[in-house]
Amino acid sequence: MAVVQDNKTHHQDPLHGITLKTVVTELREHFGWEELANQINIKCFKINPSINSSLKFLRKTPWARQKVERLYLKMVG
């Protein structure tokens, strides 16, 4: 039996359709690594930062990903 997802759920999620790579890339372009590290105190933004290392860390660290997503929504909001 297939599970049908409610389309309203997708429309209520402000990050629906936006990849984590897009989020990190746009934050880096807007703030730069140094200010991004000041905004969110995580090592992947402070020591030898890169998009790929940040994505690897954020994909396995939910609390850090939530902080990044909140900052992104604040930036674009």
In order of start, what are the domains of the chain with their CATH numbers? 18-76 (1.10.720.30)
- Given a contact cutoff of 8 angstroms between Cβ atoms, the answer to whether 40 and 68 are in contact is yes
What pLDDT shows up at residue 12? Answer: 85
Tokens 């954020």 sit on residue: 58
pTM: predicted TM-score of the whole model, two decimal places? 0.83
Q: Exposed, middle or buried: residue 68 (CB in 10 Å: 0-12, 13-18, 19+)? A: buried
Q: State how far the Cα of 1 lies from the Cα of 19, in Å rounded to an integer.
A: 29
Instruction: Give the Cα separation of 35 and 28 in Å (integer).
Output: 9
Encode pLDDT of 24-70 as tens digits. 999 999 999 999 999 999 999 999 999 999 999 999 999 999 999 99
Give residue 49's Cα distance to chain centre: 15
pLDDT exceeds cutoff 80 at 1: no
Give the pLDDT score at 43. 94
